[in-house]
Amino acid sequence: MNKIFEVPLYPYTKSPDQDAATPVRHPVMVVGAGPVGLGVAIDLAQQGVPVVVVDDNDKVSFGSRAICFAKRTIEIADRLGLGQPLVEKGVVWNLGKVFFDDRKVYDFNLLPEDGHRRPAFINLQQYYFEDYLVARVREIQSEGAPIELRGGNKVQSVTDQGDHVRLEIDTPDGPYTVEADYLIACDGANSPIRRMMGLDFVGRVFEDNFLIADVIMEADFPTERWFWFDPPFNPGQSALLHKQPDGVWRIDLQLGWDIDKEEEKKPEKVIPRLKQMLGDEVEFSLEWVSIYTFQCRRMEKFRHGRIVFAGDSAHQVSPFGARGANSGLQDADNLGWKLKMVLDGTAPETLLDTYDAERIHGADENIMNSSRSTDFITPKSQQSRIFRNAVLDLSEHFEFARPFVNSGRLSVPCVYDGSPLNSADALPGGPLRTRPGAPCPDAPLGNGFLLERLGGQFALLTVDADAPETVEIDGMTLHRIALSASEDGTGALAERYLGDAASAVYLIRPDQHVAARWTAFDADAVATALSRALGKEAAA
């Protein structure tokens, strides 16, 4: 068994809070040190907001769990300061094969678009991701960032007191009470906080079970994603084989609904199944086995007064398309800057409601996509099975049918169309992909890349347009990032940010989404758009 599961990363130590005569008040507390809780905590601490993270555990999560991290997640990780280790450790893949019944129907190359610093996605065990997040917490701590990580701290109750939240926390030294101006609940799919507050979590339960196994193989299997529909070794069901770092392979086998979970997890049951799949001659050992039942559901609202839910506690999707961890990191990305600005008084508290609006939009998109994949993989009616099989049969012979094959759509970031923070598009001929609400796509700039120039502040990006180097608005300073299409010989910058326009000015949010865009700089228009992006103006 991999040692990384065993090592306490943030073992319990007693905090002075536990001996305080009156409860200590923190600006922000985060419950849950999973990828989402750690992500949002790092984001806040890097902006100087003091944050305390509590978790009843003290280790990385057990087993690989999420293994596919999309480009957008790596870009967010870059901003958090841990993109590089992720990419260095992760496996990049572009090739895949699709099997139906006993034959391969086609193979594909994802042919990722050029001109991005980061790959379309990487495969990496969730425990590495968490390990790097904790390492990053330690690093910024040593640089003086106000972040604290408390293991062995189990939240027993939370109460919203109107202007703050009160938490009762249990520890090996007994319970203590602590307070927070804001609480971010990143306590996972079974969120105890959600339950304590009696909040809904509704959606669709898929009556299906998946056996998830991490196996270590001696054989030199290619770095490809293999997906089987209805294979001889798992009739009527599906299977997936995908590579992770360290010679570990992820195998997902659909089991159906009426099974004995404890029985199916036993090695004497799992190993023969895997032998059927991999062939008798392949040597392998089992690292981790789990049975996963999934649901597609979300809370009706993610923000409840001073308690904000993020990640799996707020929404859950099927594993197809790797949207769990990826969408949770987008929650963190969306919430971090808003909370910072509200705490600073730079923005009204209602800015937090736009977290709700934007991330519910994101969750619904993810739930829709992952439900569609699930319906393709496990057809729910006779007619949907007929069409599914027709698509697979056709895909063997005709390219046109391949886009219908849905074994999980790659997680792509959500465009916040219709967000109250957007200003109307004022760049005629501008590319659709950089319209207000869209996340900025990367682009090469001579010897660097665009996204690393954007940073994590509001910014004014100009492409072949004049503007002052800094703009003062309401006590905020906007810095200009001046670019010219000629800096990028590949033409990607022009294609992604100009389209048919000759010049462009973009107002970019701290989470690198476009707030507004114009052909030329206009101080009043920028001021209005900024005020709107801070939630100060109602939608026009």
- Binding residues (CB under 6 A) for ligand FAD: these are 31-37, 54-57, 61, 65-68, 126, 154-155, 186-188, 192, 212, 290, 292, 311-312, 319, 322-325, 328
Q: From the CB of 520, what's the least distance to ligand FAD, in Å?
A: 42
Residue 390 interface partner, choices ligand FAD, another protein, none, CB cut-off 5-8 Å depending on type: another protein
Q: From the CB of 291, what's the least distance to ligand FAD, in Å?
A: 8
With respect to ligand FAD, which residue has the nearer C-beta, 173 or 474?
Answer: 173
C-beta of residue 476 within 8 angstroms of C-beta of residue 458: yes
Query: Residue 449 has which token pair?
Result: 């890349």
Residue 471 interface partner, choices ligand FAD, another protein, none, CB cut-off 5-8 Å depending on type: none
Length of the chain: 540
* Residue position matching structure tokens 């099997």: 99
| 502 makes contact with another protein (CB under 8 A) | no
192-196 contact pairs (CB < 8 A, 24+): 192/155, 193/31, 193/155, 193/158, 193/307, 193/309, 193/313, 194/299, 194/309, 194/313, 196/157, 196/158
Q: From the CB of 386, what's the least distance to ligand FAD, in Å?
A: 29
With respect to ligand FAD, which residue has the nearer C-beta, 288 or 449?
Answer: 288
Q: From the CB of 400, what's the least distance to another protein, in Å?
A: 4
Question: How many Å apart are CA 76 and CA 291, to the nearest integer?
Answer: 30
Binding mask 341-380 for another protein (x = CB under 8 A): ----------------------------------------
- List the one residue from 91, 394, 476, 527 that touches another protein (CB under 8 A): 394
Rg (alpha carbons) of the chain, rounded to whole number: 24
147 Cβ partners below 8 Å, 6+ apart?
A: 41, 42, 44, 45, 50, 51, 52, 53, 137, 140, 141
309 Cβ partners below 8 Å, 6+ apart?
A: 184, 185, 186, 191, 193, 194, 299, 302, 303
Question: How many Å apart are CA 261 and CA 258, to the nearest integer?
Answer: 9
- List the one residue from 92, 390, 523, 539 that touches another protein (CB under 8 A): 390
Residue 90 interface partner, choices ligand FAD, another protein, none, CB cut-off 5-8 Å depending on type: none
Q: Please count the other Cβ atoms lying within 10 Å of the Cβ belonging to residue 84.
A: 12
262 Cβ partners below 8 Å, 6+ apart?
A: none
| 387 makes contact with another protein (CB under 8 A) | yes
| 406 makes contact with another protein (CB under 8 A) | no
With respect to another protein, which residue has the nearer C-beta, 257 or 398?
Answer: 398
- List the one residue from 5, 12, 404, 521 that touches another protein (CB under 8 A): 404
Question: How many Å apart are CA 9 and CA 477, to the nearest integer?
Answer: 39
- Window of 22-30, 41-49, 381-389, 526-534 that interacts with another protein by CB under 8 A: 381-389
- List the one residue from 389, 406, 484, 531 that touches another protein (CB under 8 A): 389
Residue 394 interface partner, choices ligand FAD, another protein, none, CB cut-off 5-8 Å depending on type: another protein
The H or E element spanning position 251 is strand 248-256
Residue 325 interface partner, choices another protein, ligand FAD, none, CB cut-off 5-8 Å depending on type: ligand FAD
Task: Outline where DSSP puts E strands in 372-503.
Answer: 444-445, 448-449, 459-463, 470-473, 476-483
Q: From the CB of 252, what's the least distance to ligand FAD, in Å?
A: 8
With respect to another protein, which residue has the nearer C-beta, 401 or 525?
Answer: 401
The closest of 263, 322, 311 to 289, measured between CA atoms, is 263
- List the one residue from 398, 429, 466, 474 that touches another protein (CB under 8 A): 398
Q: From the CB of 101, what's the least distance to another protein, in Å?
A: 13
| 386 makes contact with another protein (CB under 8 A) | yes
Q: Which of helix, strand or coil describes residue 108?
A: strand
Q: From the CB of 355, what's the least distance to ligand FAD, in Å?
A: 15
Rounded-to-10 torsion of CA 523, 528, 532, 534: 50
Task: Outline where DSSP puts E strands in 192-237.
Answer: 202-217, 224-229
Binding site for another protein (CB under 8 A): 386-387, 389-391, 393-394, 398, 400-401, 404
